[in-house]
Protein backbone atom coordinates (compact mmCIF):
# COMPACT_ATOMS: atom_id res chain seq x y z
CA UNK A 1 0.00 0.00 0.00
CA UNK A 2 2.87 2.35 0.88
CA UNK A 3 4.40 1.84 -2.58
CA UNK A 4 1.06 2.51 -4.26
CA UNK A 5 0.78 5.87 -2.50
CA UNK A 6 4.34 6.79 -3.49
CA UNK A 7 3.64 5.71 -7.08
CA UNK A 8 0.48 7.84 -7.25
CA UNK A 9 2.32 10.83 -5.76
CA UNK A 10 5.09 10.53 -8.37
CA UNK A 11 2.60 10.23 -11.24
CA UNK A 12 0.66 13.27 -9.98
CA UNK A 13 3.86 15.29 -9.65
CA UNK A 14 4.95 14.58 -13.21
CA UNK A 15 1.45 15.07 -14.64
CA UNK A 16 1.35 18.63 -13.40
CA UNK A 17 5.01 19.46 -13.65
CA UNK A 18 6.21 22.77 -12.26
CA UNK A 19 9.73 22.43 -13.66
CA UNK A 20 10.64 24.60 -16.59
CA UNK A 21 11.17 22.90 -19.94
CA UNK A 22 11.57 25.75 -22.34
CA UNK A 23 11.94 25.60 -26.09
CA UNK A 24 11.92 29.18 -27.26
CA UNK A 25 12.95 28.25 -30.79
CA UNK A 26 10.63 25.37 -31.54
CA UNK A 27 11.16 22.80 -34.22
CA UNK A 28 9.78 23.77 -37.58
CA UNK A 29 6.07 23.78 -36.84
CA UNK A 30 4.05 25.14 -39.71
CA UNK A 31 0.96 27.28 -39.59
CA UNK A 32 -1.39 24.35 -40.18
CA UNK A 33 -0.87 23.12 -36.60
CA UNK A 34 -2.86 25.98 -35.13
CA UNK A 35 -5.65 25.87 -37.70
CA UNK A 36 -6.04 22.10 -37.26
CA UNK A 37 -6.66 22.39 -33.50
CA UNK A 38 -10.26 22.05 -32.45
CA UNK A 39 -11.11 24.39 -29.60
CA UNK A 40 -14.61 25.16 -28.38
CA UNK A 41 -15.90 28.35 -26.80
CA UNK A 42 -17.88 27.98 -23.58
CA UNK A 43 -21.10 28.14 -25.62
CA UNK A 44 -19.95 25.04 -27.54
CA UNK A 45 -19.16 26.81 -30.81
CA UNK A 46 -15.94 25.92 -32.58
CA UNK A 47 -13.20 28.58 -32.55
CA UNK A 48 -13.03 30.08 -36.03
CA UNK A 49 -9.33 30.42 -36.78
CA UNK A 50 -10.13 32.77 -39.67
CA UNK A 51 -11.24 35.34 -37.07
CA UNK A 52 -7.77 35.38 -35.48
CA UNK A 53 -5.88 35.23 -38.77
CA UNK A 54 -3.11 37.84 -38.77
CA UNK A 55 -2.97 37.90 -34.95
CA UNK A 56 -0.45 36.26 -32.65
CA UNK A 57 -1.92 33.55 -30.40
CA UNK A 58 -0.93 32.81 -26.80
CA UNK A 59 -2.28 29.29 -26.17
CA UNK A 60 -1.96 27.88 -22.67
CA UNK A 61 -2.95 24.28 -21.85
CA UNK A 62 -4.14 23.85 -18.26
CA UNK A 63 -6.52 22.02 -15.91
CA UNK A 64 -8.57 23.02 -12.88
CA UNK A 65 -6.82 20.38 -10.74
CA UNK A 66 -3.30 21.57 -11.67
CA UNK A 67 -1.92 23.86 -8.95
CA UNK A 68 0.80 25.50 -11.09
CA UNK A 69 -1.77 26.09 -13.85
CA UNK A 70 -4.15 27.91 -11.52
CA UNK A 71 -1.30 29.84 -9.89
CA UNK A 72 -0.14 31.07 -13.33
CA UNK A 73 -3.54 32.46 -14.37
CA UNK A 74 -3.38 35.87 -12.66
CA UNK A 75 -0.07 36.50 -14.43
CA UNK A 76 -1.57 35.52 -17.79
CA UNK A 77 -4.55 37.77 -17.14
CA UNK A 78 -2.26 40.69 -16.25
CA UNK A 79 -0.16 40.10 -19.40
CA UNK A 80 -3.33 40.03 -21.52
CA UNK A 81 -4.37 43.37 -20.01
CA UNK A 82 -0.90 44.83 -20.61
CA UNK A 83 -1.02 43.71 -24.26
CA UNK A 84 -4.69 44.52 -24.97
CA UNK A 85 -3.71 47.08 -27.63
CA UNK A 86 -1.38 44.59 -29.33
CA UNK A 87 -2.22 42.12 -32.06
CA UNK A 88 -2.42 39.04 -29.81
CA UNK A 89 -5.18 36.69 -28.63
CA UNK A 90 -4.93 34.83 -25.31
CA UNK A 91 -6.63 31.41 -25.15
CA UNK A 92 -6.47 28.96 -22.24
CA UNK A 93 -7.46 25.43 -23.26
CA UNK A 94 -8.43 22.47 -21.11
CA UNK A 95 -9.77 18.99 -21.82
CA UNK A 96 -12.24 19.33 -18.95
CA UNK A 97 -16.00 19.65 -19.31
CA UNK A 98 -17.78 22.90 -20.07
CA UNK A 99 -19.45 22.67 -16.64
CA UNK A 100 -16.07 22.51 -14.88
CA UNK A 101 -14.79 25.47 -16.91
CA UNK A 102 -17.88 27.55 -16.07
CA UNK A 103 -17.61 26.64 -12.39
CA UNK A 104 -13.93 27.62 -12.41
CA UNK A 105 -14.76 30.94 -14.10
CA UNK A 106 -17.43 31.70 -11.48
CA UNK A 107 -15.14 30.77 -8.60
CA UNK A 108 -12.13 32.84 -9.70
CA UNK A 109 -13.65 35.50 -11.95
CA UNK A 110 -10.78 35.66 -14.43
CA UNK A 111 -11.40 37.76 -17.53
CA UNK A 112 -9.75 35.24 -19.85
CA UNK A 113 -10.90 33.21 -22.83
CA UNK A 114 -11.15 29.76 -21.26
CA UNK A 115 -11.86 27.22 -23.97
CA UNK A 116 -12.40 23.49 -24.23
CA UNK A 117 -10.08 21.49 -26.41
CA UNK A 118 -11.19 18.61 -28.58
CA UNK A 119 -7.65 17.97 -29.84
CA UNK A 120 -5.80 15.66 -27.42
CA UNK A 121 -2.69 16.78 -25.59
CA UNK A 122 -0.85 13.71 -26.86
CA UNK A 123 -1.49 14.67 -30.49
CA UNK A 124 0.19 18.02 -29.74
CA UNK A 125 3.19 16.32 -28.07
CA UNK A 126 2.22 17.79 -24.70
CA UNK A 127 3.29 15.53 -21.85
CA UNK A 128 2.72 17.85 -18.87
CA UNK A 129 0.81 20.99 -17.98
CA UNK A 130 0.88 23.91 -17.85
CA UNK A 131 2.24 24.17 -21.37
CA UNK A 132 2.20 27.39 -23.36
CA UNK A 133 2.51 27.67 -27.13
CA UNK A 134 2.90 31.04 -28.81
CA UNK A 135 2.15 31.45 -32.50
CA UNK A 136 3.27 34.44 -34.55
CA UNK A 137 0.92 36.46 -36.76
CA UNK A 138 1.43 33.95 -39.59
CA UNK A 139 0.23 31.07 -37.38
CA UNK A 140 3.67 29.48 -36.94
CA UNK A 141 4.59 28.22 -33.48
CA UNK A 142 7.57 30.25 -32.30
CA UNK A 143 7.62 29.33 -28.59
CA UNK A 144 6.80 26.36 -26.39
CA UNK A 145 7.27 25.96 -22.67
CA UNK A 146 6.13 23.46 -20.08
CA UNK A 147 5.97 25.24 -16.74
CA UNK A 148 4.25 28.11 -15.02
CA UNK A 149 5.67 31.58 -15.58
CA UNK A 150 5.01 35.09 -14.29
CA UNK A 151 3.91 36.40 -17.68
CA UNK A 152 3.27 39.95 -16.50
CA UNK A 153 6.88 40.93 -15.73
CA UNK A 154 8.51 43.57 -17.93
CA UNK A 155 10.92 40.92 -19.22
CA UNK A 156 8.11 38.57 -20.24
CA UNK A 157 5.98 41.32 -21.79
CA UNK A 158 9.02 42.24 -23.90
CA UNK A 159 9.48 38.55 -24.81
CA UNK A 160 5.84 38.26 -25.90
CA UNK A 161 6.13 41.38 -28.08
CA UNK A 162 9.27 39.97 -29.72
CA UNK A 163 7.69 36.55 -30.30
CA UNK A 164 4.62 38.11 -31.92
CA UNK A 165 6.84 39.63 -34.60
CA UNK A 166 9.16 36.66 -35.02
CA UNK A 167 9.21 35.24 -38.58
The SS3 assignment for 140 reads: coil
Nearest CA among 42, 34, 40, 109 for reference residue 70: 109
> What was the pLDDT predicted at 31?
56
Q: pTM of this prediction?
A: 0.82
Is residue 67 very low, low, confident or very high in pLDDT (cuts 50, 70, 90)? very high
Interval 104-125: pLDDT, tens: 999 999 999 999 998 888 888 8
Contact by Cβ (8 Å): 165, 140: no
* Integer Cα distance of 75 and 152 in angstroms: 5
Query: What does DSSP assign to residue 47?
Result: P
Contact by Cβ (8 Å): 115, 40: yes
Name all domains of the chain by residue range, CATH numbers in brackets: 2-165 (3.40.30.10)
Interval 7-59: pLDDT, tens: 444 444 444 544 444 444 444 455 577 878 889 998 999 998 888 889 999 99
Nearest CA among 103, 118, 109 for reference residue 40: 118
Amino acid sequence: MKYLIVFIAVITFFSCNGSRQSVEETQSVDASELSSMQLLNIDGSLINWQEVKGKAVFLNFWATWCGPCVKEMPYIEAAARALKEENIVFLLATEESTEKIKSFEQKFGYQLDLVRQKTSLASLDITAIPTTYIYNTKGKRVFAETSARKWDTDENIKLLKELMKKP
